[in-house]
Amino acid sequence: MRTGHFKESYGELVALTDSSVTRAWVGLLVVALLLLPLVAGNYGLSLATAAMITVVGAVGLNLLTGMTGLISVGQSGFLAIGAYTNALLLADYKWPLLASLPASGIVAGVLSLLVGVPSLRLKGLYLAITTLAFAFIVNHVILYAEGLTHGPNGVFLPNASLLGIDVSRDRPLYFLVLAVTILVVLAVLNIKRTRIGRAFLAIRDHDIAARVMGVDLVRYKLLAFVISSFLVGIAGALLSLQIRFVNVDVFGLILSIEALAVIILGGLGSTAGAILGAVFLSMLPELIRIAFSTFGSTQSVTYTTYVYEIRGIAYGVVIVVFLRFKPDGLIGLWRDVRRYWTNWPLAY
Amino acid sequence: MDFLLLLISAGLVSGAAYGMIAMGFALIYKATGVVNFAQGELVMLTAYVAFSIAGAVDLGFWSLLAVTVPIAMAIGLTLERIFIRPMLGEPAFAIVMVTIGLAVILRGVTIMIWGPDPLDFAAGLSREVITLGPIPFYPAQLYAIGCLAILVGLAYGFLRYTRVGIAMRAVAANETAALLMGVSVKRIHAVAWSLSSAIAAVAGILFAANFKLGPDMWFQGLRSFPALILGGLDSLIGAAIGGLIIGVVETLAQGYLGQGLREIAGFVVIVVILMVRPYGLFGARDIERV
């Protein structure tokens, strides 16, 4: 009879989860997400879509910053590249969505080698500043290469359809984004349990030691950049499908900071954390709006006048408070709560 | 030839602004080992404070500076106490992220207090054109270059001859050893923040007088990164020189290579420097050994 918690094979050791409870809850979550369009209106559905797009981007950034330890403040650049590739391929070159969606990821992934190569020599702060510079350069190239990108005019997306279904409407788009999100999350969780994922973690913890253990730094750092930017590019493409009009102003630096806020809030390095953080921060503006509207009309006026500032302050406060009091993020909070109740009443 | 001189002089003026902002960055980096991403926001906030002071009392440039700088130092001390001090001992990444959070908060608060529209701010300087040789200057432009020179002189003297300045260099060289020698590292960090805010105030007032006082001024902080990297992250004088060089490079790129290159010329320089000489012109070389 099996007693206690032990593993008998290597496969069990690296399995995604060995708990049937976790499996059941995840299954329940997926079913709930599939049924959401039956109960939610268009507004709720578009909020959920936006949250899932953020999840895709956050999971991608987390792979780079959380897992591999390469801090990037320039992922808004790759988001812009993904969104623009998708929009231009659909609008100007009449590609089908089935081809343009992966193409946006691939273009972002290939261009990420431009930042990836300098990153081989740089660490920490220097890398952050280089990626920041990259994001600026991307925005300016988009603005000034008018022949290709329509420059400051932006790009309107035509009605795109996938397998004969028009995804410009809310419900089909929701299902498309849901499918991509599930694929991306599964892919990243699986990368984490392969040699590649372990190499990423080793590089994060100590890159020289990792090299001594036989991890090819050049290859794996570039791989982290490419995979992460591929995912962020896909997120950008999905974003372009949702907002329908792509313009440089959408991809300001604030996006990169929001993205970092998401993974810090969720808990650096944890995929589940990135998902939690993305969902929480996408809902934050909504929470603030509701909070302001319950306080009467004068506050609502203040809110509508300074909507960006108030959102910015909220993000800033979230970053500062979590780093100060809960560096492990929401996922750490969840672990603490779970441990507390497991040991209850013998809390230590 | 006149066009070239004009570009160079315009470059030196914007470069002086970059240089002053970058000096603020470098001072905090030197003392605490953290790049303060909120430096641009400090510049903006102190410039707005100066604007309000100038609106309340009619002051000349130097007296305005004399009133604003102590207020800026107090702001710097307060921010350090509330946001940075509790993070002492945490990894640098966490502290840098806190400054990013602080930056977003300061930006929002500033816009909510002073409104989103650009303001006209002369900072007590006249607007009569002065001609030096073939090149016309506004007084504010000459003041910017002059103040950069004064700040460089003060920084050199402070770090070389004063007790606090020497302690700061000791902390920069080896924090633990400095602590064991009886240097209060906390106090040095606080001093660095307040002095950096003072530099930010000078930079902010002169930038606002030269260009404009608007809610997008924080962006100058990021625009000054090339200067900081070129000079070497931890060198104040390097940052000033880097600022002048980047300013000239930017205007030359705009004048001879094309519109729109001005904004990214500096960032292209960053990428090149980081590839070739990551410690900049004057920075300390970080050698990593196993």
Please give, one letter per residue, the 3-state secondary structure of chain A.
CCCCCCCCCHHHHCCCCCCHHHHHHHHHHHHHHHHHHHHCCHHHHHHHHHHHHHHHHHHHHHHHHHHCCCCCCCHHHHHHHHHHHHHHHHHCCCCCHHHHHHHHHHHHHHHHHHHHHHHCCCCHHHHHHHHHHHHHHHHHHHHHCHHHHCHHHCEECCCCEECCEECCCHHHHHHHHHHHHHHHHHHHHHHHCCHHHHHHHHHHHCHHHHHHCCCCHHHHHHHHHHHHHHHHHHHHHHHHHHHCEECHHHHCHHHHHHHHHHHHHHCCCCHHHHHHHHHHHHHHHHHHHHHHHHCCHHHHHHHHHCHHHHHHHHHHHHHHHHHHHCCCHHHHHHHHHHHHHHHCCCCC
- What is the DSSP secondary structure assignment for residue B86, as one 8-state letter? G
Select the residue from B267, B275, B289 to test the A interface by mutation, using most A Cβ atoms within 10 A.
B267
CA dist A304 and A31 (Å) reads 36
Tell me the residue range of the domain where A52 lies.
42-343
Contact B290 A208 (CB under 8 A): yes
**Residue A3 placed within a domain:** no
- Whether B93 has its CB under 8 Å from any CB of chain A: the answer is yes
CA dist A280 and A83 (Å) reads 23
Q: Exposed, middle or buried: residue B118 (CB in 10 Å: 0-12, 13-18, 19+)? A: middle
CA A234 to chain centre: 10
Q: Give the residue carrying structure tokens 């205007």.
A: B251
Contact B274 A122 (CB under 8 A): yes
The C-alpha angle A2, A23, A280, rounded to 5 degrees, equals 135
Residue in A closest to B96 by C-alpha? A125
**Residue A29 placed within a domain:** no
pLDDT digits (tens, 9 = 90+) for B168-222: 888 888 888 888 988 888 888 899 999 999 999 999 988 888 888 888 888 888 8
Select the residue from B93, B114, B229, B273 to test the A interface by mutation, using most A Cβ atoms within 10 A.
B93
> Which helix (H) or strand (E) covers residue B135, if one does?
strand B135-137
Residue in A closest to B271 by C-alpha? A130
Chain A residue numbers touching B263 (CB-CB < 8 A)? 136, 140
Q: Exposed, middle or buried: residue B128 (CB in 10 Å: 0-12, 13-18, 19+)? A: exposed
Residue ranges of domains in chain B:
2-276
The total of structural domains in chain A comes to 1
Distance between B130 CA and the closest CA of chain A, angstroms: 35
A-B contacts (CB, under 8 Å): 111
> Helix (H, G, I), strand (E, B), or coil: what is residue B171?
helix
pLDDT digits (tens, 9 = 90+) for A243-296: 888 888 778 777 887 888 888 888 887 888 888 888 888 888 788 878 777 776
CA dist A203 and A219 (Å) reads 11
CA B87 to chain centre: 23
**Residue A24 placed within a domain:** no
Q: What is the CATH number of the domain that holds A57?
A: 1.10.3470
pLDDT in tens, chain A (348 residues): 566 677 778 777 777 777 788 888 888 888 888 888 878 778 888 888 888 998 998 998 888 888 888 888 888 889 999 999 888 888 888 788 788 888 999 999 898 888 777 767 766 677 788 888 888 888 888 888 777 777 777 777 777 777 767 777 778 888 888 989 999 999 998 888 888 988 998 988 888 888 888 888 888 888 988 999 999 999 999 888 888 888 887 787 778 878 888 888 888 878 888 888 888 888 887 888 787 777 766 666 666 777 777 878 888 888 888 888 888 888 888 888 888 888 777 765
- Whether B278 has its CB under 8 Å from any CB of chain A: the answer is yes
How many of the other CB atoms lie within 10 Å of CB of B256?
A: 11
- Whether A129 has its CB under 8 Å from any CB of chain B: the answer is yes
Distance between B211 CA and the closest CA of chain A, angstroms: 21
**Residue A232 placed within a domain:** yes
Contact A71 B107 (CB under 8 A): no
Select the residue from A73, A76, A121, A126 to test the B interface by mutation, using most B Cβ atoms within 10 A.
A126
Provide the Cα torsion B82, B88, B93, B96; round to 10°: 30
| Domain B2-276 falls under CATH 1.10.3470 | yes
Contact A140 B103 (CB under 8 A): no
Contact B225 A324 (CB under 8 A): no
Chain A residue numbers touching B103 (CB-CB < 8 A)? 316
Sign of CA dihedral A290, A291, A297, A298: negative
For residue A168, how many C-alpha atoms fall within 13 Å in the half-sphere facing its CB? 10
**Residue A118 placed within a domain:** yes
List C-alpha distances in Å: A126 to A73, A335, B273.
11, 33, 11
Distance between A56 CA and the closest CA of chain B, angstroms: 22
Chain A residue numbers touching B113 (CB-CB < 8 A)? none
Select the residue from B97, B99, B275, B279 to test the A interface by mutation, using most A Cβ atoms within 10 A.
B97
**Residue A116 placed within a domain:** yes
pLDDT digits (tens, 9 = 90+) for A136-145: 888 888 888 7
Contact A124 B267 (CB under 8 A): no
